[in-house]
Copies of this chain bind each other. A is one copy, B any other.
Amino acid sequence: MAHRQAKPVLQEFALIRDLARRFVRRTPGLVQSIGDDAAVIQTSAGTWCHLTTDLLAEGIHFDMTWSSPESVGYRAAMANLSDIAAMGAVPRYLLISLAIPKKWTQPQIHKLYTGLMMACRRYDVALIGGDTSASKAGLFLSITLIGTTSQRQGLFRHGAAVGDHIYASGTLGDSLAGLRILTNRTTSDSVKKRTSELSRTHRQFLLRRHSHPTARVAEGLWLNDRRLASAAIDLSDGLSGDLRHLCEQSRVGAEIDLEKLPISSACRAYARAFGVSPIQLALTGGEDYELLFTAAPLHSKTIEQQARTRGYRMTRIGTIRPSRFGIQITSGGRTKPMPTTSYEHFR
C-alpha cells in the first residue's frame, strides 16, 4: 500500500487519514488496518478465505453523467459482495484502490466512500486498506473483498450434475431496464413519452434495482450451510453468459424454460412500453446480482419450503442436461440453442 501521488503529497495523505478515521472500525479478527504496509487479519482455525477482486472503469462500467458518486461506490461494493454471496461465504473485509481524476472534488470522493460504506455496513464488512492514485483519464475503482466459510464448505461453479434443477433468485432484467431508463433520459421525445407510460413506482423500482442492487448474501449462506446447492454463480454478466460459465466449469449442458424466468411486473411494464422482449432483458441483462444455482432434485422440496419461510424468492427455471446437449432454451414446446450474448456494461 504505497500511497502514490494523486495530489500534492500531503493533501493525499491527509485525505487517506481522514477517510481512515471516518470509515475504519475495529472488527473481530482485524489485527492491523489502514496505516501500515499491509492490513493484517487473523482467521480462526479451519477457515477458508474467499478472495474476489473487481475493477470498474469510468466509461466502461459507469458514466458519471448519469451515475452519482454514491451509487458508483455502492455498486462497486455490491459487485464484490455478490461474488462472495455466490461462494456461500460471509463477507468480512474490503480493500479499495482508487485512481482519481484531477477534476474530482473532495466532497465527491467522500460521497463515493459513503456509497461504498453503505453497502459494507449492510453486510457488516470492514474497510481495512487500499491505495489511491491520480488518474490522467477517468475514475478507476478496484475492490478486493475477503469472505470466510468453514473449511470444506463453499459453493463453486463446478459440481452441477445431470438432472439437477436450476434456480434463480429474485427477478431478472431489472437492472438493465433501469440502466436504459437512466441512459435514455435525455434522448428523443418518443423515448420520454414511452418512459412516462411507466408508473412512477415501476420506474423507481427499476432505477433502484440498477443503482442499489442487493447481493444475495443471506441466500448464499443458507444454501451453503444446509448443503442444498450443487453449484452456484452470481448473475453479473447476465443469465445467458453466467449459465454458460457454470456449465463449462461443471462440464454439463442445460435447458432453460423461458416461461419460468422470474420477471418483475416493473420489467414487464418497461418491456411493453418500449416494445422489447422481457425474456431478452432477463436473458442478457447484467448486474442483477441474483444467484443462479443448481440443486439435486431430492432437495427441491426443502429449497422451496425453506425459501418460502425465509421470504427468499427462488424460481426453478430449468434442468441440467448432459454436456452434449449444449445450452438450450425452450418455450411453448419448442427448443433452440441459447444465443451467445452476454451483457455489455455501459459503453
Instruction: Find out whether the CB atom of B135 lies under 8 angstroms from the CB atom of A87.
Output: no
Does A43 interact with chain B (Cβ within 8 Å)? yes
Within 8 Å CB of A136, what residues of B?
Answer: 57-60, 137-138
Residue of B nearest to A2 (CB): B236
Within 8 Å CB of A39, what residues of B?
Answer: 50-52
Does A99 interact with chain B (Cβ within 8 Å)? yes
Shortest CB-to-CB span from A103 to chain B, Å, is 14
Does A335 interact with chain B (Cβ within 8 Å)? no
Q: In A38-52, which residues have CB < 8 Å from any B CB?
A: 38-52
Stretch at the interface among A4-12, A114-122, A299-307: A4-12
In the complex, A225→B98 CA distance in Å?
Answer: 34
In the complex, A342→B167 CA distance in Å?
Answer: 55
Shortest CB-to-CB span from A30 to chain B, Å, is 11
Instruction: Find out whether the CB atom of A54 lies under 8 angstroms from the CB atom of B154.
Output: no
In the complex, A260→B147 CA distance in Å?
Answer: 46
Does A68 interact with chain B (Cβ within 8 Å)? no
Residue of B nearest to A157 (CB): B36
**How many residues of chain A are within 8 Å of chain B by beta carbon?**
83
In the complex, A136→B140 CA distance in Å?
Answer: 11
**Given A137-B135, A345-B4: A84 in contact with B52 (beta carbons within 8 A):** no
Residue of B nearest to A9 (CB): B342
Within 8 Å CB of A87, what residues of B?
Answer: 36-38, 40
Within 8 Å CB of A130, what residues of B?
Answer: 53
Instruction: Find out whether the CB atom of A137 lies under 8 angstroms from the CB atom of B134.
Output: no
Instruction: Find out whether the CB atom of B41 lies under 8 angstroms from the CB atom of A140.
Output: no
Residue of B nearest to A342 (CB): B9
Instruction: Find out whether the CB atom of B97 lies under 8 angstroms from the CB atom of A142.
Output: yes
Shortest CB-to-CB span from A224 to chain B, Å, is 12
- Most chain B CB inside 10 Å of its own CB: which residue of A41, A55, A133: A55
Within 8 Å CB of A41, what residues of B?
Answer: 48-49, 51
Apart from A2-B83, A9-B342, what are 15 other A-B pairs with CB-CB below 8 Å? A1-B53, A31-B48, A32-B156, A36-B156, A38-B51, A38-B86, A38-B147, A40-B50, A45-B45, A55-B98, A57-B134, A95-B144, A97-B142, A99-B140, A134-B347
